[in-house]
């Protein structure tokens, strides 16, 4: 695992996995976007960091795409926290979640709790602000850890150092929604120090990432 802040780590998994982030709490751990890989690969990555799946009490999802959400199946004792839209897509096996394209099956959700826009989730020393950020897909959310000032952006915002850094959109008004979502992130995540994206490298230039993304999308979609 690669440390990005106090008690927050990037769990490095093989392609086509998204970035997965581990939050080591006072008693239990949590994971943001557990990604997609084999059970063996996941266990190996966790073991290398001195962890096992039983150490996790919460799984957070930024959206329902399989490369971010599939490994949630491997944490049956953890509470799955996601938007109602994301949970609905998973429960109804929605084709737009691309599980078939990634060659994995949907899974049962034994324990789930909805997160809502503006909700602050406090647990084990962390404070995660949930922000609804449609654009990439309608069910996208970001999580802003208020103490460490880390923005877990899923596929809603990428660092400018990532080639083709504007997120792909999967519905007609996605470009316009992204612009509004980025405005929201600027307002709600004042002082953000680190961008922890769903793909690509960690960034410490969040303001620049937002500004450059806005310029790029203006020419691409509007």
Q: What gap in Å lies between CA 21 and CA 30, rounded to an integer?
A: 8
pLDDT, tens digit (0-9, with 9 covering 90-100), for 155-183: 999 998 876 678 999 999 999 999 999 99
Q: Which domains does the chain have, with CATH numbers?
A: 2-221 (3.60.15.10)
pLDDT tens sequence across 37-96:
999 999 999 999 999 999 999 999 999 999 999 999 999 999 999 999 999 999 999 999
Decide: 82 and 114 in contact? Cβ < 8 Å: yes
Two tokens at 87? 């949970």
136 touches 157 (CB < 8 A): no
């Amino acid at each position: 695992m690669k440390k990005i802040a106090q008690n927050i780590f990037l769990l490095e998994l093989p392609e086509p996995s998204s970035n997965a982030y581990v939050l080591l709490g006072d008693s239990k751990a949590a994971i943001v976007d557990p990604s997609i890989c084999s059970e063996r690969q996941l266990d190996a990555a966790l073991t290398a960091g001195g962890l096992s799946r039983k150490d996790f009490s919460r799984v957070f999802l930024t959206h329902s795409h399989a490369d971010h959400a599939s490994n949630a199946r491997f944490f049956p004792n953890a509470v799955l926290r996601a938007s109602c839209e994301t949970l609905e897509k998973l429960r109804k096996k929605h084709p737009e979640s691309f599980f078939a394209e990634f060659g994995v099956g949907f899974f049962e959700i034994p324990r789930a709790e909805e997160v809502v826009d503006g909700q602050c989730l406090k647990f084990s020393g962390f404070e995660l602000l949930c922000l609804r950020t449609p654009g990439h897909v309608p069910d996208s959310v970001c999580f802003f850890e208020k103490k460490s000032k880390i923005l877990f952006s899923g596929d809603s915002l990428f660092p400018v150092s990532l080639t083709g850094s504007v997120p792909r959109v999967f519905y007609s008004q996605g470009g316009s929604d992204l612009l509004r979502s980025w405005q929201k992130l600027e307002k709600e995540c004042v002082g953000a120090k680190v961008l922890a994206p769903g793909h690509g490298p960690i960034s410490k230039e969040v303001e620049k990432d937002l500004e450059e993304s806005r310029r790029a999308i203006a020419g691409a979609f509007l």
